[in-house]
Structure 1
């Protein structure tokens, strides 16, 4: 059994949280190493099963903490379950986690950070215990929402420029240039880039690349009769080679490997459910 489900957030958190999600995979259904394709979001995850290792090279890995925050992913991110998978997680919008924590999001990029490093041992231990001992997903959502609502700080109008820039990038499927976002001059562009690194963890250009890649991936999954050239143009890539270059940069593989390589199985499940 492999079951992935998403759940909507509380209305008071819907501006910063995209969804909650759960993933359950029986040991017999594990498909070895999995490549997680970037989606531009930051995740807070609780591993309730047998644990997961993340590869730092072809043959080296770290064991992921049982309660962690995964920052922006900008390069191949390969994981492998140690057995039974049972995960409960919060998927924040790119700027969302900065609303509950003051750390610069660029410090979380391309890695997992143990919850105790961000919220302290007492708070993270108690939260993890409550999540683990909860009876079901509904109770876990109630627990995490109480925690997040306590942490949530209303952002100033000035800081909302990052959210507006993200909305522009998202509507353009990642193709909008930073200069076109709000018709900014050079000094304001530099200020927006600094805010992006602080609140999102990557630059507007990097996030736009990830959003555009998302668009292409969904087209590949939903309209698999299209050629790579058609998908590249429909996703606003200059040409097919540009698309292939971006895809290899963040996954380490060619787009044509998506359907034939079992290491993409989790990513295709995640994207089909969006």
Structure 2
């Protein structure tokens, strides 16, 4: 990073760890106008813009300004964003199944959506230029949001942990599989099989940072992909481009969160 660009992560306090994975901050005073591709990572996020909000491309490729505060649900496809001015963000990353009680509705309603949270975060005003204070205020605010009835569904959490550990799901009959599917869609927003695909893809995604394909191809085979064409299809599905194209083109926020933040990891002990 250069030109004043910075990225930092902070751990949540113990009381929030069952729900919150990380708090991160990012700033880039003089960003380029480059379109940046953000791939799914399996974790919903609450994001507050302290600078100028990004523009995001819709399905037709038309760019629209994002709201200054948003909740990003589970992603099953990439998004394309570009900055319009100085960027400064503070964000809270939930565990895959950690946002349901805070959001107050099924995570399925937020899948592939960026929900406007401007009103809900209107009293949150972290100071510019101070990442530690920004993270602390976000954490304190979320701690104040927490209610006694917040919970973690043990069946869903066990499945999430198995996916992150790359372990097979335990045998279940058809009725049990349907029950898990319903609970997973409610608390995670996508099916277990989809989350497993996202996490498997993220295991090889870091190798796309190198321009040579041999490294990420080898990692893809280790992660369970059958061959290069299958892995290439997954890059198209989750990034909208090839690994080499992504490594060559992506800068700033897209590269920062890919190289440091969006790495698979299961829920930490509470």
Structure 2 residue runs of 5 or longer lacking an equivalent are 262-270
Deviation at 1:136, TM superposition (A): 2.9
Asked if the contact 2:21–2:95 (Cα under 8 Å) also holds between the matched residues in 1, the reply is yes
Choose which of 103, 109, 112 in structure 2 pairs with 1:110. 112
| TM-score, scaled to structure 1 | 0.85
Q: Distance in 2 between matches of 1:256 and 1:137?
A: 32
Structure 1 residue runs of 5 or longer lacking an equivalent are none
Aligned to 2:32: 30
Asked if the contact 1:70–1:112 (Cα under 8 Å) also holds between the matched residues in 2, the reply is yes
Q: Distance in 1 between matches of 2:203 and 2:101?
A: 26
Q: Distance in 2 between matches of 1:137 and 1:260?
A: 29
- Give the 3 Å change call, closer, same or farther, for CA 3–230 of structure 1 in structure 2: same
Deviation at 1:137, TM superposition (A): 3.0
Query: Are 1:184 and 2:181 matched, yes or no?
Result: no
Q: Distance in 2 between matches of 1:25 and 1:38?
A: 22
- Give the 3 Å change call, closer, same or farther, for CA 76–230 of structure 1 in structure 2: same
Q: Distance in 1 between matches of 2:184 and 2:117?
A: 22
Deviation at 1:243, TM superposition (A): 1.0
- Give the 3 Å change call, closer, same or farther, for CA 164–46 of structure 1 in structure 2: same
Choose which of 173, 179, 191 in structure 2 pairs with 1:203. 191
Deviation at 1:65, TM superposition (A): 0.8
Counting only pairs closer than 5 Å after superposition, residues 83-102 of structure 1 correspond to structure 2 as 83-102=85-104
User: Alignment length, in residue pairs?
Assistant: 256
- Give the 3 Å change call, closer, same or farther, for CA 94–15 of structure 1 in structure 2: same
Choose which of 254, 260, 264 in structure 2 pairs with 1:273. 260
SS in 2 for 1:15: coil
Q: Distance in 1 between matches of 2:240 and 2:65?
A: 21
Choose which of 122, 125, 131 in structure 2 pairs with 1:125. 122
SS in 2 for 1:83: coil
Deviation at 1:222, TM superposition (A): 7.3
- Give the 3 Å change call, closer, same or farther, for CA 259–139 of structure 1 in structure 2: closer
Asked if the contact 2:204–2:220 (Cα under 8 Å) also holds between the matched residues in 1, the reply is yes
Q: Distance in 2 between matches of 1:228 and 1:246?
A: 12
Choose which of 12, 17, 21 in structure 2 pairs with 1:18. 21
Residue deviations 1:239-262 (CA, integer Å, cap 9, x gap):
221111111012111122122223
SS in 1 for 2:103: coil
- The structure in which a higher percent of residues are helix is 1
Asked if the contact 2:213–2:244 (Cα under 8 Å) also holds between the matched residues in 1, the reply is no
CA RMSD of superposed structures (Å): 2.2
